[in-house]
Structure 1
Amino acid sequence: MEKTLRPARWWLAIPALLAALAVALGLGAPPADATAPPSDSGSAYQFQGIVRSDPQTPIAGVVINASGPDGFAGTATTAADGRWSIPTPGPGDYTVSIDETTVPDGLEVNPAHISRDFTLGTTSSQSVLFGIGAPGSFAPAPSAGSGDGGGDDGGSESNESTSSSSSFSWSRLGQRLFTGLNFGLLLALAAIGITLIFGTTGVNNFAHGEMVTFGGFAFFLLTTTLGLPVWVAIIGVLIASGAFGWLHDAAIFKPLRRRRVGLVQVLIVTIGLSIALRYFYQFLFGGGSSTLAVDNSARISFGTFNVNVSNIVSMVVSVVILGAVAYFLTRTRIGKATRAVSDNAGLAAASGINVDRVIRIVWVIAGMLTGLSGVLYAYFIGASVRWDMGFLILLLLFASVTLGGLGSAFGALVGALIIGIVTEVSTLWLPSDLRFAVALVILILVLLVRPQGVLGRKERIG
């Protein structure tokens, strides 16, 4: 009877695999962003950003100007969601400035951000942040024309000043704590995928960031290219991402296990796979950012700060999914088998557990969790996706897993929450460009005191 069921399992996996391949390869290039100003040049090089008066309140009608080589001059006006984009003819030295007269009354621009110089060359899309706040909230600029090196789409820091000169307030602390909790929850989804794979196979998958990117682009293609409803697109992302994880194991890691390839060699394979997938995404979708054609403007006021409804939904979804994962690991037979394989694969096999089957299921679940994390992260960075979005947070994912305790799913959750909150709250006093470095410093300090991580177990030596 068992022999007759096995082929059926393979046939059930084929439609999911075809869905993943269709999303990755067959849906074509995405259309132009409907919310961005139209481009007449057709060039992939551009300046872009979101103008906000605080992390959640966009400003419409602000004029941004850009000038560059060969007399180039471009202008953009922010839309209702605060977004703007100025296409450029190509690489070169440019100056980007904001028209202060178009900023609403009662707000001022950080003097250091009024006019800034950039060089396009290493990246085709340059994000530009303009610090805007209440009059007197910015210290005088030591020099004009300094640029940021951001390759991100603005993300959670939006248009906060990249300096730490803004005064502390409890409202800003509440805003940062909320944003950090949201960031930590979406990190936890992907981090749990990493720790499940590591626990059952011993492999640190450095291509996990590309699984995050896959989820973001799959959602972009299903919603923006095909125009499907969001809930249908999310189901499609889960199916495609699960199949993508299945394909990872079936095509690469299971054959390596059968040949008893060492963990160091497998680690090198994951690094190579990460590089190959990342630049394959860039080849397919270009080096710039693409905006999701979804409504992300609804907001709710809580006291003195505003939050996006999408962020609240993101947090609720994350909590529900994390609860489902906890139930799966502690209450179901497959979940208990997964924990048994993680503790001792040889003993689990001797007790009758099909280790290969458990590992395959873990890869599928990890792919689904990570793909969903990619969708939520796309919303978190301003409803946009880019070819290296997963790679940018890969180090934070591994920091979450290590901080919580290698191989512990619940430890990955705790570690991700710590990392997410620390990265966001640190921007109250430090430049936003250093927020990831602060999280890694916290990781080092914790490991010096507790090497096994927060919820990890001590390893006995000898």
Structure 2
Amino acid sequence: MLIAVRAAVSAVVLAVLSLLGVTILGASAAHAVDTTLVGNFTAPDGSSIPDVSITVSDDAGFSDTATSDANGDFAIPLPGGGTYAIEIDVTTLPDGIALQTPEDASRSLLVLGGEKKIITKLVEGEGGGGNDGGFLDVSGDQVLQLLFDGLLFGIMIALGALGLNLVFGTTGLTNFSHGDLLTLGAFTALILNEAGLHIIIAAPIAIVIAAVLFGWGQNKVLWRPLRRRKTGLIAMMIITIGLAIVIRYGVALFFGGAPRNFNQYAGQAGIEIGPVSTTPKALILAGLATIALILTVIWVQRSRIGKATRAVSDNPALASATGIDVEKVIAVVWTLAAGLAAFSGIYLGLTQDNIWNMGQRVLLIIFASVILGGLGTVYGAIIGALVVGVFIQLTSLVIPTEMKTVGALFVMIVILMIRPQGILGRRERVG
């Protein structure tokens, strides 16, 4: 009973963090603006280039075209955060001017919300600047911006990766439905938000509901009975795949396939921090997520139930022999994992959009983070997520944006070839 109470307390702590964050976001509500893509076309000699045509579209059917004004500036209002395809009509560029990176004529871009500025470098000539926009032509400001974006993305991924790793560490279960826990958390908040609750209230309530219903409840109804029946881990893993499909298409059935935004903070005015641009909500959410990660690490390292969790992770049979209630520990872990996943899903929904397959889109990245950091390790999940997040952003400097995830996965493969147990994983003897 005491452990169940502590599980509820953990969920409430996550909810309070969410409430604190969105309350702070409320202070900047007066500055909220629609999501907008902005940019500028400037010739190599510094003169502005007007009448350049640029088209932006997404998979949901949105499409808009704008032309640069007399100052070379353009602005295209967007329906919300998400991934957009950008097409520059190179035939509208003046004679003797070309894109330094030819691939910039057609690329995809992740927009988190607010004002997103894109950088398009132009050179003299008809075919680009000689090295096809290689890494040597990248500015320091671009690298800093991508590093910053990568850290923010990595922090969001770390919330999901940490929960997945805790479940794997205590049960050995590889949960392919974990990404859909992010979706359930985000859509629980969306339901409450559309029912009339401000996101400041809806977010923490959704985290508690997700922790109790989709974490503790899922374990009690599904996984605990399967463990009692001695169901094998392979069979249980296959069940998670089926569960993921049911959740994913269930959300699509009831909510449709179009992206949906929360009623508040769909867009915010951007802020500049030196050479880096971002939004207040992105900073605040990243800060709160960092606090949640730190508190979770402290909980695992210092608290009595946290130490019991580590004991179960190391050797469940020995932990049970010493008097630890393994099933109660697992219930707490499932509760915490679902709460962290819900927090991550709401984070993703606030900075991008809510869509039925949002969890599936980041599941591979979450798994990559867990494997890279080391299976079953708390610190490994966090470090792995940060490394993957940064590499995903940085690889867009040298490969097309739509393929940037491939670069991070390639780095994961290389690191695992050198250190198979992951960055912080322990080497184990087999046989």
TM tier relative to shorter chain? 0.7 to 0.9
Deviation per CA, 1:129-184, whole angstroms, max 9, x where unpaired?
Answer: 3569x99683486998x7x7x7x975599675899748511111111111100000
Q: Is the Cα–Cα contact under 8 Å of residues 131 and 162 in structure 1 kept in the other structure?
A: no
What is residue 98 of structure 1 aligned with on the other side? 65
Contact 1:162 1:432 in 2 (8 A): no
CA RMSD of aligned residues (A): 3.9
For residues 349 and 263 of structure 1, the distance between their equivalents in structure 2, rounded to whole angstroms, comes to 20
Change (3 A) 1:85 1:193: closer
Matches of 1:143 and 1:452, distance apart in 2: 38
Residues 232-381 of structure 1 correspond to what in structure 2 (within 5 A)?
A: 232-243=201-212, 244-295=214-265, 296-381=267-352
Is the contact made by 1:129 and 1:159 (CA closer than 8 Å) also made in structure 2? no
Structure 2 gaps of 5+ residues are 13-31, 41-50, 76-81, 122-131
Matching residue of 1:456? 425
TM-score by length of 1: 0.71
Higher helix share: 2
Greater RCO, CA 8 A, separation 6+:
2
Cα displacement (A) at 1:251: 1.6
Q: Specify the code of the residue in structure 2 equivalent to 1:280.
A: G
- TM-score, reference length from structure 2: 0.76
Of 432, 438, 444, 2:401 maps to 432
**One-letter amino acid of the structure 1 residue matched with residue 202 of structure 2:** A
Q: Which amino acid aligns with 1:51?
A: L
C-alpha distance in 2, partners of 1:265/1:170? 50
The 2-side partners of 1:87 and 1:410 are apart by 38
Change (3 A) 1:275 1:87: closer
Q: Per the alignment, do residues 169 and 349 of structure 1 end up closer, same or farther by CA in structure 2, a change over 3 Å counting?
A: same
SS at match of 1:172: helix
Report the Cα offset of residue 276 of structure 1.
0.8
Q: 1:232 to 1:143 in 2, by over 3 A?
A: closer
Cα deviation for residue 409 of structure 1 reads 1.0
Q: 1:126 to 1:347 in 2, by over 3 A?
A: closer
Cα deviations by residue, 1:228-281 (Å, 9 ceiling, x for unpaired) = 233322211211110211122112111110100111101100000001110001
- Corresponding residue for 1:120? none
Q: Using the alignment, how far apart are the partners of 2:88 and 2:142 within structure 1?
A: 15
Which residue pairs with 1:31 in the alignment?
none
> Could you tell me how far apart the structure 2 residues matched to 1:143 and 1:177 are?
20
Give the match for residue 371 of structure 2. Answer: 402
Match of 1:51 among 37, 40, 43: 37
Kept in 1, the 8 Å contact 2:54–2:86? The answer is no
| Cross-structure match for 1:199 | 169
Compared CA separation, residues 87 and 271, structure 1 to 2 (3 A): closer
> SS of the residue aligned with 2:160?
helix
For 2:386 and 2:103, the matched residues in 1 are separated by 36
Instruction: State the Cα distance separating 1:304 from its structure 2 match.
Output: 2.8
| 1:412 Cα deviation from its structure 2 partner | 0.3
Match of residue 112 from structure 1: none
- CA–CA distance in structure 2, aligned partners of residues 388 and 105 of structure 1: 40
Deviations 1:374-395 (Å, cap 9, x if unpaired)? 11112332xx210001100100
The residue type paired with residue 313 of structure 1 is I
**C-alpha distance in structure 2 between counterparts of 1:390 and 1:172, whole Å:** 28
Structure 1: 5+ residue stretches without partners: 17-34, 38-48, 55-61, 67-82, 89-93, 110-124
- Residue identity over aligned pairs, in percent, reads 34
Per mean C-alpha deviation after superposition, the further-off stretch among 442-451 and 153-162 is 153-162
Distance 1:300 1:99, change over 3 A: closer
Q: 2: distance between equivalents of 1:268 and 1:238?
A: 27
Distance in structure 1 (CA, Å) of the matches to 2:104 and 2:157: 37
Q: Which residue of 2 aligns with 1:178?
A: 148
